[in-house]
């Protein structure tokens, strides 16, 4: 018998409206950045996607270059759609992106109309889809006029290859201009995907205000700082961790004594709340309802259970927020 989704998959998940649109996405979304590439085990990826969906996680986030090798995460997800998830396609929000180097030559990177449309065509082929729900420009292009990039996103929606469009890694001024251009074109910007966590708070300096004013939602990546905001590193650096593997985004040089001291003190507050540190860090990102969804990665199904369980304790007292703020600013 093939996969049959849990009948109570919508019982406990929280769904938030994306900006001023008609779309809702789960408060916890699954990112396929890691553990879904050609070097990973298909059956583990299958177990993660199935379990996520059973928990009410309906949003699955990809990009053209996710793997490794680039493109392989979309290929794996395409296999899962064909074998397991096809009956549930209309219950899923599938997103992908383009903006980083994908193929050789002058047309395989950044934000030209040629690159974005060609890349999405390739992504749709890899996943076996006619359209994605959200297509993002993955990062600003310092050379291509923003008008051209936004016109490409508008064309992609009008062609039916994506239902909505978003941007990622845009700073406040760039995001404000993107919102203005797309509004003029008649294809509103749906969502922004920035990096945000207790240790990386740049979006609080103007971007969140721009998004609220523009009616744009946000889904944040790396809310756990690549695992640093968990109990993983409290006893040292595990040999199988990203830091031990000299990750581009997290390595031993990033895990300073000062940061570990903060992690330990934050962990104490989480314990008082009856949560794991990871759960508290995710709940903190969602505080005040300024963030629509947190994008999590997982290598084991148990991690998904732990992440989703935090929805049972989202509230913070003013005292807790004050103590957390003191730790982060110390």
Count H helices and E strands in the chain, helices first. 10, 10
Q: What angle do CA 62, 67, 72 make, to 5 degrees?
A: 85
Which has the closest alpha carbon to 44: 323, 324, 298, 326?
298
* Two tokens, residue 329: 């600013």
Q: Judge if the upstream peptide bond of residue 68 is cis by omega within 30 degrees of 0.
A: yes
Q: Indicate if the alpha-carbon torsion angle 196, 214, 95, 106 is positive or negative.
A: negative
Tokens of 292: 């629509």
**pLDDT recorded at residue 235:** 73
Q: Cβ(133)–Cβ(164) under 8 Å?
A: yes
C-alpha distances out from residue 43 to 47, 50, 80, 83, 92, Å: 6, 10, 10, 12, 20
Query: What pLDDT does residue 241 have?
Result: 54
> What letters, b where the CB count within 10 A reaches 16 and e where it falls short, cover 10-31?
eeeeebbebbebebbbbbbbbb
Distance, in Å, from the CA atom of 290 to the CA atom of 217, rounded to the nearest integer, reads 8
Global pTM exceeds 0.85: yes
* Alpha-carbon distance values, 321 to 20, 325, 330 (Å): 28, 6, 14
Q: From the CA atom positions of the chain, what is the Rg in Å?
A: 19
Q: Are strands 24-26 and 28-31 parallel, antiparallel or unpaired?
A: unpaired
SS3 214: helix
For residues 158 and 235, give the distance between their C-alpha atoms in angstroms, rounded to a whole number: 52
pLDDT tens for the chain, 330 residues long, are: 689 999 999 999 999 999 999 999 999 999 999 889 999 999 999 999 999 999 999 999 999 999 999 999 999 999 999 999 999 999 999 999 999 999 999 999 999 999 999 999 999 999 999 999 999 999 999 999 999 999 999 999 999 999 999 999 999 999 999 999 999 999 999 999 999 999 999 999 999 999 999 999 999 999 999 999 999 888 766 555 555 554 545 556 678 889 999 999 999 999 999 999 999 999 999 999 999 999 999 999 999 999 999 999 999 999 999 999 999 999
Residue with tokens 């076996």: 128
Residue 46's CB is within 10 A of a number of other CB atoms, namely 18
Q: HSE-up of 321 (CA within 13 Å, CB side)?
A: 11
Instruction: Give percent of the chain with pLDDT exceeding 90.
Output: 90
Quick: pLDDT tens for 123-168: 999 999 999 999 999 999 999 999 999 999 999 999 999 999 999 9
Structural domains in the chain?
Answer: 15-225+281-313 (3.20.20.100)
pLDDT digits over 304-321, tens only?
A: 999 999 999 999 999 999
Query: 121 is written with which tokens?
Result: 């065509």
DSSP for residue 275: S
Spell out the alpha helix ranges (H) of the chain: 42-54, 72-80, 113-127, 146-158, 172-185, 207-214, 257-273, 277-285, 301-309, 318-329
- Report pLDDT for 251: 52
């Amino acid at each position: 018998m093939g996969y049959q989704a849990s009948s109570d998959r919508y019982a406990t998940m929280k769904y938030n409206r994306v900006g001023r649109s008609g779309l809702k996405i789960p408060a916890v979304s699954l990112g396929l950045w890691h553990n879904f590439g050609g070097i990973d085990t298909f059956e583990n990826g299958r177990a993660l996607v199935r379990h996520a969906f059973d928990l009410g996680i309906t949003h699955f986030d990809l990009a053209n270059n996710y793997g490794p090798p680039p493109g392989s995460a979309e290929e794996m997800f395409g296999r899962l759609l064909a074998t397991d998830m096809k009956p549930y396609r209309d219950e899923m929000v599938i997103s992908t992106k383009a903006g980083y180097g994908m193929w050789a030559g002058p047309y395989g990177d950044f934000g030209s109309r040629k690159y974005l449309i060609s890349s999405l065509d390739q992504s749709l082929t890899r996943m076996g889809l006619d359209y994605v729900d959200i297509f993002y420009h993955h990062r600003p292009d310092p050379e291509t006029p923003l008008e051209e990039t936004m016109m490409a996103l508008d064309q992609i929606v009008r062609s039916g290859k994506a239902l909505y469009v978003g941007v990622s890694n845009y700073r406040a001024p760039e995001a404000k201009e993107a919102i203005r251009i797309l509004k003029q074109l008649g294809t509103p910007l749906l969502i922004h995907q920035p990096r945000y966590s207790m240790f990386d708070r740049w979006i609080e300096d103007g971007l969140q205000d721009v998004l609220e004013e523009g009616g744009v939602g946000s889904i944040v990546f790396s809310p756990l700082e690549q695992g640093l905001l968990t109990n993983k590193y409290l006893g040292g650096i595990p040999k199988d961790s990203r830091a031990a593997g000299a990750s581009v985004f997290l390595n031993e040089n990033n895990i300073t004594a000062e940061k570990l001291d903060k992690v330990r003190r934050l962990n104490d507050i989480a314990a008082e709340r009856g949560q794991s540190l990871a759960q508290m860090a995710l709940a903190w990102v969602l505080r005040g309802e300024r963030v629509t969804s947190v994008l999590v990665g997982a290598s084991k199904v148990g991690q998904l259970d732990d992440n989703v369980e935090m929805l049972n304790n989202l509230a913070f007292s003013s005292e807790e927020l004050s103590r957390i703020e003191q730790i982060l600013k110390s």
